[in-house]
Amino acid sequence: MMHELDCFFNPRSVAVIGVSRNAEKIGSIIFRNLLDSGYSGAVYAVNPNAETVFGKRCYRSVKDIGGEVDLAVVSIPAQHVTQAVSECAEKNVRACIIISAGFSETGNKEQENEIAGIAKGRMRIVGPNVVGLYDPYSGLDTVFNVKCRQGRPGKGGIAFVSQSGAFGAAMMDWCANEGVGLSAFVSVGNRLDVDEADMLDYFAEDEKTAVIAMYIESTKNGRRFFEKLRKAAEKKPVVVMKAGRSREGSRAAQSHTGSLAGSAEIYSGAFRQAGAVEAKNAEELFDFAKIMALPKPAGKNVQIITNGGGFGVVATDTVVKSGLRLASISGDAKEAIRNAVPPFAVVDNPIDLTGSSTKEMYEKTMETVLQQDSVDAAIVILLLQVASLESSVVESVIKMKKYLKPVIVCSTGGEFTGIHKALLESAGVPVYPTPERAVRALKALSGIK
Amino acid sequence: MMHELDCFFNPRSVAVIGVSRNAEKIGSIIFRNLLDSGYSGAVYAVNPNAETVFGKRCYRSVKDIGGEVDLAVVSIPAQHVTQAVSECAEKNVRACIIISAGFSETGNKEQENEIAGIAKGRMRIVGPNVVGLYDPYSGLDTVFNVKCRQGRPGKGGIAFVSQSGAFGAAMMDWCANEGVGLSAFVSVGNRLDVDEADMLDYFAEDEKTAVIAMYIESTKNGRRFFEKLRKAAEKKPVVVMKAGRSREGSRAAQSHTGSLAGSAEIYSGAFRQAGAVEAKNAEELFDFAKIMALPKPAGKNVQIITNGGGFGVVATDTVVKSGLRLASISGDAKEAIRNAVPPFAVVDNPIDLTGSSTKEMYEKTMETVLQQDSVDAAIVILLLQVASLESSVVESVIKMKKYLKPVIVCSTGGEFTGIHKALLESAGVPVYPTPERAVRALKALSGIK
């Protein structure tokens, strides 16, 4: 059975209400992004003052559209939104995204209530005050930023729910750039109807979603949220970042999405109780979300493989400090590795393949350590600046998935490194720029407090 | 008067000993990088088995070169290095970088002592076991990684000294990609002669260097190092990261650059006493180095300016938690800003210009707050995904240097954002991907413990 919210992600047809002839207006950007996004359903433009826009027919009202409309995206000044939603209700539109701002975040709670009243029992509403919604699987793209400024991530397993639109957009852009794929993105904004709890409910059931990542400043209904969080976390990992932790931050949140944030400690405790993973900042949110789809390690023993001594030292420090342990491999395993690496390589933990490392050395070393029962996870440091290390080492790392143990990569650098990082990420291998962030993520996956 | 070590950074001529006809060998990479790097001195190739290499004349020995040789770069197997150094000494070469590995890091301390004996009083030696040395001002580039794999940073004010070559190379690559400039880079490796203390001494006097950043695993001579550190820190900010903090990490460091690391607590205390800034990880090392050339804030009051509510909330939380304070601006200043921004913008702290922000709004807001005595520093959050914000906002931010207060930027995203971040960085405006990292750096600049 289709989930009630599926219309937001897989509508058969979309109407954009507020497509201006000015290409720089938000409604126009959304309309053109939709035409351009690989979305296969019908896309309609609505604007009472235009016959055509961007070479396409334009409708005076959503009611004038001949075919059925599953989803309406509303991007017009706040004072006209109530009327537009009423017309959507008359047209039997089933889902509505209100992009427009100027509602409860500026004190205008009344109009939100009025719109909620119109929608009740007839349609579901996302927003107002949102950046949009994006689904790389259906191709639906209602995010109002132009693509040359904000990238769109490819298909992946992370569903990202953000209360803040700008935070969400920046993170999507970042994911697209790093090669991290999403199952869907949605900004929930003022939540006059659909809220973060509904989204938990939806993504918990969504098969394409392996991990749910959330940025929240407050909850609309705390009890219901934590109930849904608990249920979702039983099904798949949920990583949550709560902003507005300080009194001052909470006040800033109120003028942002029109809702009061609660005490940080209460939230942290409730996240723990619900079985969710708390991220303390934006980097953790994505560092953790990226790793959570991997198999959970059977124990705490980590093998470090590096081609840079310094990174190996830092990784060692961090593993020891984290509560994870340095794995020990058998003498036979060491011997097998020694036969495949130069005499000056260090076969211990870390295993340092040195600047003379090649793809073959990495492959043999990874195979050997991952076959050891005493190794629960591996951190593979790839410094791709050295000329001897072939690009295809990326494929060797990806192949290690067969061992069903977490294998994560630490790699830092510029453009050349970036290309390889993106290849790994898009194959589901999480990559971190520093040993510290790699270890912190592995610790979160292991469930060590 | 020229510093004794200046020959390493500004030699009039360089000989590369060990240029193979095989373009993939390290000596060949260094030779070709040197020809290609904008370095204006003479560059000689040495190889007893070749008449020409890459279309250039090749010398059988450094002694056969007609002109003077200031600097020799040695990249031949360890067993031949002693002989090569002897010949350099005979030729009156003043500085020598030994790239080759296979010395004390593999137990071969004896040969290092022998080489040190030959060099004593005749030449200074960097290495062995190093990735090279780079000076963007003189164009000298002896780093053995090819440029398509590892970028070279532009001119800037950070001198970066790394005990680990691979760590240094990865960080150079990262700096080049982010637009962060260096005054010089040097990897000191096994330090048979020149060590981190010598480098502190050199960069403390170097006018192009505004900030010294160091990655160390150990010190060759602790007392001398901390003495030089104290003297350097009196002249300019020094940021130090110490790896090998755990017993296990220290052991890994020993097999890496052949020296025992000491207790983490002793180091931390000594850094503090010497007036250096300690970085706890690689991100902090560069996050801190980037900010330290800015004027130190007169007080703790920080104004946050944002166009994304969520980032404003997180920045607020983090400022409050850090020990910095949220600045308050006067009623007149608020009024002046309100007249320049949309009615739904929030003029408080944070000032939220919202997704409708423009370059003009940012410029007016920054000007107004920085003129306030009650504002000691500003964190400017620029989310460049929104279409209304012109690229030239970057120039507006750079102009704010005239107020002699630290102004730092927080910006996250992909390619489009990256271009703007690099423009800011290359103009000396530090940019951080998250509010947390921006605040942590500002706290380090403020000297709050």
Residue of B139, B172, B32 lying closest to A416 (CA atoms): B172
Residue B352 pairs in a beta bridge with: B306, B346
Task: Give which of B216, B201, B231, B447 is closest to B324, Cα–Cα.
Answer: B447
Instruction: Check pLDDT > 60 for residue B276.
Output: yes
Residues of A whose CB is below 8 A from B252: 309, 312-313, 316, 346, 348, 350, 352
- A256-312 pLDDT, tens digit each: 665 555 678 889 999 999 999 999 999 999 999 999 999 999 999 999 999 998 999
**Percentage of chain B modeled with pLDDT above 90:** 88
pLDDT tens sequence across A154-205:
999 999 999 999 999 999 999 999 999 999 999 999 999 999 999 999 999 9
How does DSSP classify residue B104? G
Nearest to A164 among B167, B176, B308 (CB): B308
Mean pLDDT confidence for B385-396 = 95
Tokens at A99, concatenated: 């992009």
**Mean of pLDDT values over B84-111:** 94
Q: What distance in Å separates residue A254's CA from the closest CA in chain B? A: 9
Cα dist from A173 to A143, A416, B102, B420, whole Å: 11, 20, 45, 14
One-letter amino acid of B243: A
> pLDDT tens digits for B287-305?
999 999 999 999 999 999 9
Does the beta-carbon distance from A283 to B436 stay under 8 Å?
yes
A with B: how many residue pairs have Cβ under 8 Å apart?
281
- Give the nearest chain B residue to A355 (CA atoms): B166
CA–CA separation, B209 and A302 (whole Å):
40
Largest CA distance in chain B: 79
The percentage of chain A sitting over the pLDDT mark of 90, rounded to a whole number, equals 88
ipTM of the complex: 0.92
pLDDT at A252: 81
C-beta atoms surrounding A200 within 10 Å: 29
Beta bridge partners of A43: A14
8 A C-beta contact, residue B319 and residue B302? yes
Q: What is the DSSP string of A104-167?
A: GGGT-HHHHHHHHHHHTTT-EEE-SS---EEETTTTEE---S-TTTS----EEEEEEEESSHHH
Q: Average pLDDT, whole number, for chain A?
A: 94
Between CA A126 and CA A105 the distance in angstroms is: 15
- Asked if the peptide bond before residue A350 counts as cis, ω within 30 degrees of 0, the response is yes
A17 beta partners = A46, A74
Token digits of residue A113: 């209530």
CB contact residues (below 8 A), chain B span 400-419, against chain A:
412-418
CB contacts, 8 Å: B382 with chain A: none
Concatenating the DSSP letter of every residue in A314-346 gives HHHHHHHHHT-EE----HHHHHHHHTTS-TTSE
**Residue B147: its pLDDT value, please?**
93
Query: Among residues 300-339 of chain A, which lie with CB inside 8 Å of chain B?
Result: 307-314, 316-317, 319-321, 326
Residue B259 has pLDDT above 70, yes or no: no
Q: Please say if the pLDDT value at position B257 is more than 70.
A: no
Cα–Cα distances in angstroms (integers) from residue A415 to residues A174, A202, A412, B413, B418, in the given order = 15, 37, 10, 15, 12
- For residue B326, which residues of chain A lie inside 8 Å, CB to CB? 248
A346-365: average pLDDT: 96
pLDDT single digits (tens) A356-389? 999 999 999 999 999 999 999 999 999 999 989 9
Distance CA(B55)–CA(A119), nearest Å, equals 78
B46-64 pLDDT, tens digit each: 999 999 999 999 999 999 9
Q: B216 at the A interface (CB within 8 A)?
A: no
- 10 Å Cβ neighbour count for B207? 7
Q: How far apart are the C-alpha atoms of B403 and B217, rounded to whole Å?
A: 39
Q: Say yes or no: B128 contacts chain A, CB-CB below 8 A.
A: no
Are A105 and B416 an interchain contact pair (Cβ–Cβ within 8 Å)? no
Q: Which letter, b or e, does each residue of B162-180 get, where b requires 16 or more Cβ atoms within 10 Å of its Cβ?
A: bbbbbbbbbbbbbbbbbbb
> Model pTM?
0.94
Query: What is the C-alpha to C-alpha distance for residues B251 and B273, in angstroms, rounded to an integer?
Result: 26
- Whether the CB of B169 is below 8 Å from some CB of chain A: the reply is yes
Nearest by CB to residue B309, choosing from A257, A308, A317, is A257
Residues 6+ apart with CB under 8 A from A356: A342, A344, A345, A386, A388
Which among A131, A167, A313 has CB closest to B256? A313
Listed residue (A169, A251, A185) closest to A218, CA to CA: A251
Q: Do B170 and A412 touch (CB under 8 A)?
A: yes
Calculate how close chain A gets to B422, using CA atoms only, in Å: 12
- Token digits of residue B413: 């995203």
Provide, as residue numbers in chain A, all residues whose Cβ is less than 8 Å from the Cβ of B414.
Answer: 150-151, 173-174, 176-177
Judged against a pLDDT cut of 80, whether residue B261 lies above it is answered with no
**C-alpha distances in angstroms, A60 versus A35, A49, A84, A88, B384?**
19, 7, 11, 13, 33
| Residues paired with residue A59 on neighbouring β-strands, in sequence order | A46
Length of chain A: 449
pLDDT score recorded for residue A390: 95
Note whether B309 contacts A166, CB cutoff 8 Å: yes
The pLDDT assigned to B245 comes to 83
Beta pairing class for A52-53 and A56-59: antiparallel
Which of A247, A321, A387 is opposite residue B145, by nearest beta carbon?
A387
pLDDT at B434 over 90: yes
B186 closest CA partner among B174, B207, B200, B204: B200
Mean of the per-residue pLDDT values for chain B? 94
Cα separations (Å) of A110 from A104, A106, A117, A406? 8, 11, 11, 50
Per-window interface: B 100-119 vs A, CB < 8 A: 101-102, 105-106
Digit-coded pLDDT (tens) for B181-215 = 999 999 999 999 999 999 999 999 999 999 999 99
Q: Is residue B13 within 8 Å of residue B40, measured between CB atoms?
A: no
Chain B positions touching A418 (Cβ under 8 A) are 177
Using a CB-CB cut-off of 8 Å, the residues of chain A touching B131 are 355
pLDDT digits (tens, 9 = 90+) for B123-149: 999 999 999 999 999 999 999 999 999
Q: Is the pLDDT of residue B332 over 70?
A: yes
Question: What is the distance between the alpha carbons of residues B391 and B385, in angstroms, rounded to a whole number?
Answer: 11
Tell me the nearest-neighbour CA distance from B335 into chain A, angstroms.
18
What mean pLDDT is predicted for residues A230-258? Answer: 87
Q: Which of A244, A256, A282 has its CB closest to that of B352?
A: A256
For residues B35, B39, B41 and B43, what is the CA-based torsion angle, rounded to 10 degrees?
A: -20
CA-closest candidate to residue A157, choices A446, A437, A425, A443: A425
**DSSP state, A63?**
G
Interface of A with B in 228-267 (CB under 8 A): 243-249, 252-253, 255-257
Of B247, B326, B415, the CB nearest to A248: B326
